[in-house]
Amino acid sequence: MSKSDQEVKVYEKIPTKIMKNILFSILTFISLSIIAQNNTYWQQHVDYTMEIDMNVNNYQFNGKQKLVYTNNSPDDLKVVFYHLQFNAFQPGSEMDMRLQNIADPDSRMVNNIGTEENPIYESRISKLKPDEIGFQKIISLKQNGNPVKYEVIGTILKVTLNKTIQAGKKSIFDMEFLGQVPVHIRRSGRNNTNGVALSMAQWYPKLAEYDFEGWHANEYVAREFHGVWGDFDVTIHIDKRYTIGGTGYLQNPQEVGHGYEAQNKKLKLPDGNKLTWHFKAPGVHDFTWAADPEYIHDIKEVPNGATLHFLYKKDLDFQENWVKMQDQAVKTMQFYNKTIGDYPYNQYSIIQAGDGGMEYGMCTLINGGENYASLVGTMRHEMAHSWFQFVLASNESKHPWMDEGFASYVSTLASDRLKVKKSNEFIFDRVYKTYNYIVTSGKEEPLTTHADRYNTNMAYGIGSYYKGEIFLSQLGYVIGAENLKRTIKKYYTDFKFKHPNPNDIKRVAEQVSGLQLDWYLNEWTQTIHTIDYGVKSVSDKEITLNRLGQMPMPIDLTVTYMDGSTKNFYIPLQMMLGKKPTKAMVLPYWSWGNENFTLTTFKSIAKVEIDPTLLMADIDRTNNVWSK
């Protein structure tokens, strides 16, 4: 029985939610203690206590923030950095300038002032008036009780410390700030296109992560998310008509109501126009919320799992889609629990807010829902991010393919398994075609590109989502389907509540399969080399295959003989120093330096096909099949 199996059993037996929360903290503590004993891996820790007072009329909020920052690194820190991401929504910001210069700007962030054929894009940020912009203004900042020197540089706050934080030591930061929620441009803001009043992502001064690579104080240009693991304690004072959904467990449901209260107990609502919402979120690296005076709040339980909260606007034409989707959300979470590993929190909220869909700690903000199928698809993708990003917290700025690609992979599996009508079509067909499209376009860039620095949004999107998804589907071809399933589970068990990097998924796959995979990580994610194998020639009983693309692969080959029988062959790739489990006849190794491989069969050949599974991302399949 593995450690994770023991954890699961205990988790299921806990009778009350409170006990579950306590247990979760203990488990987090245990896993962090294990990390602390492992001298090759360390991660920083921060505990947030925040209290904010929201003015729903002018969209401003006063905030107090206390951070207890633990420097688990082996380095002494003389500076720390925070993200002030609301500052991106100001004319002239780096986000604004990038929007004006990129060839294919996000359509949500621009107005087309030209025609459909000849579009002229205008940055919506460039048009924001002072009372419409976003900001986080620092009113005061202290380290261990003493005022400290700081500088605001775009969306980054650079703090020069009075007192070095020595390796292994803690420091306390107290901040007072004033925030203004921007007009909704991207991800967060006021009054989104569905009329949701407040989408509060990136709303608080957020400590940047420091890890084995150093500081990750990235400007907010388009993408984000590499946060410090910690516990959040957040108190929000807001107009009593507003319902809040978001990260964290509500600590005072009887003083709030809004669907969170226990039905068998009396509500104790305070007098006055505001309610105080007190949330705690242990073991997360972000805290997001949304609020609206017209939310409907439904609750569903995942059997032996988390409580799902659904918050969506009433009186919208597509309100029913938000109800119909709820059973699918339960099934999707069960599928991910089985496929990846148990969702470790007791709560997950699907909230109508934001734009498109975006993942956050213990919740997602999804806009729209007019199209039911796309609402379910978005929900599946965003929920998958609760594993690939919010528990396996890889650096999304540096390795977006590890969260977007992997979330896309498991959501494709979920869509296939949970489909009512089964079909025999290749489930990744659209994914491989889209990858082929970017290869053909000549606009592909390697997956090592920083998420904000791709030349086009298209190259970022297809690279991170599609090529990242193929990293896993194709890994199943390379190491075998069962080994891939075990790799995903072991990756989750070994790296939950950490910051896995690309080498970590490769190492897990190597450990599970016993195969060498450095070449796979290198070729697929660090180059734009492509795969193309072909049947070069066939004469009666002899087949010659050739490698035309730069990227090598092991080869699955199906041969049909003239008598109608078929035989499967497997040609292992020499640099893997082993073979995947297979029922096919195993042939000698094919080394990368050899462009050709010849085999002789016992019977006359009618047809030859390279990779009938289609899982190998061969960019030209026309030469994969030969028939007499």
Residues binding Zn ion (CB under 5 A): 404
Q: Which is nearer to Zn ion, 258 or 467 (CB)?
A: 467
Q: Least distance to Zn ion from the beta carbon of 444, Å?
A: 20
Q: Which is nearer to Zn ion, 225 or 432 (CB)?
A: 225
Amino acid letter for position 557: L
Helix (H) or strand (E) holding 48: strand 45-55
Q: Least distance to Zn ion from the beta carbon of 408, Å?
A: 7
Q: Which is nearer to Zn ion, 368 or 554 (CB)?
A: 368
| C-alpha distances out from residue 307 to 107, 298, 363, 410, Å | 35, 10, 11, 21
Q: Give the alpha-carbon dihedral of 588, 592, 597, 599, to 10 degrees.
A: 10
**Would you say 104 and 458 are in contact if contact means Cβ atoms under 8 Å apart?**
yes
Which of 188, 617, 213 is closest to 399 using CA atoms?
A: 213
Q: Which is nearer to Zn ion, 211 or 404 (CB)?
A: 404
Q: Which is nearer to Zn ion, 141 or 333 (CB)?
A: 333
Q: Which is nearer to Zn ion, 148 or 325 (CB)?
A: 325
Q: Which is nearer to Zn ion, 375 or 479 (CB)?
A: 375
Q: Which is nearer to Zn ion, 286 or 404 (CB)?
A: 404
Closest residue (Cβ) to Zn ion?
Answer: 404
Report the C-alpha gap between 222 and 229 in whole angstroms.
Answer: 22
With H, G, I as helix, E, B as strand and everything else as coil, classify residue 209.
Answer: coil
Q: Which is nearer to Zn ion, 500 or 572 (CB)?
A: 500
Q: Least distance to Zn ion from the beta carbon of 290, Å?
A: 18
Q: Least distance to Zn ion from the beta carbon of 163, Å?
A: 40
Which of 556, 610, 558, 543 is closest to 582 using CA atoms?
A: 556
| C-alpha distances out from residue 28 to 35, 90, 496, 498, 514, Å | 10, 39, 10, 11, 30
Q: Least distance to Zn ion from the beta carbon of 201, Å?
A: 14
Q: Least distance to Zn ion from the beta carbon of 465, Å?
A: 7
Q: Least distance to Zn ion from the beta carbon of 187, Å?
A: 12
Q: Least distance to Zn ion from the beta carbon of 461, Å?
A: 10
The single-letter DSSP state of residue 270 is P
How many CB atoms within 10 Å of residue 232?
A: 22
Which of 39, 44, 36 is closest to 81 using CA atoms?
A: 44
Q: Which is nearer to Zn ion, 309 or 385 (CB)?
A: 385
Q: Least distance to Zn ion from the beta carbon of 302, Å?
A: 21
**Would you say 440 and 430 are in contact if contact means Cβ atoms under 8 Å apart?**
no
Q: Least distance to Zn ion from the beta carbon of 388, Å?
A: 8
Rg (CA), the chain: 26
Which of 510, 435, 430 is closest to 478 using CA atoms?
A: 510
DSSP one-letter string for 341-374: ----SSEEEEEE-SSSEEEETTEEEE---SSHHH
Q: Which is nearer to Zn ion, 352 or 389 (CB)?
A: 389
Which of 242, 248, 223, 524 is closest to 363 using CA atoms?
A: 248
Q: Least distance to Zn ion from the beta carbon of 375, Å?
A: 15
The string over 115-152, giving b where at least 16 C-beta atoms fall within 10 Å of a residue's C-beta and e elsewhere, is eeeeeebebbbbebeeebbbbbebeebebeeeebebee
Q: Which is nearer to Zn ion, 404 or 609 (CB)?
A: 404
287 Cβ partners below 8 Å, 6+ apart? 48, 50, 204, 232, 234, 246, 247, 248, 279, 281, 361
Sign, Cα dihedral of 359, 360, 361, 364: negative
Q: Least distance to Zn ion from the beta carbon of 381, Å?
A: 5
Q: Least distance to Zn ion from the beta carbon of 510, Å?
A: 27
Q: Which is nearer to Zn ion, 359 or 532 (CB)?
A: 359
Report the C-alpha gap between 133 and 254 in whole angstroms.
Answer: 36
Q: Which is nearer to Zn ion, 368 or 480 (CB)?
A: 368
Q: Least distance to Zn ion from the beta carbon of 532, Å?
A: 29
Q: Which is nearer to Zn ion, 348 or 533 (CB)?
A: 348
Task: Tell me the β-bridge partners of 45.
Answer: 70
Q: Structure tokens of 347? A: 């709560």
DSSP one-letter string for 130-141: TTTS-EEEEEEE
397 Cβ partners below 8 Å, 6+ apart? 216, 218, 223, 224, 225, 226, 450, 451, 452
Q: Least distance to Zn ion from the beta carbon of 455, Å?
A: 21
Amino acid letter for position 419: K
Sheet containing strand 542-547, edge to edge, reads: 533-539, 542-547, 596-600
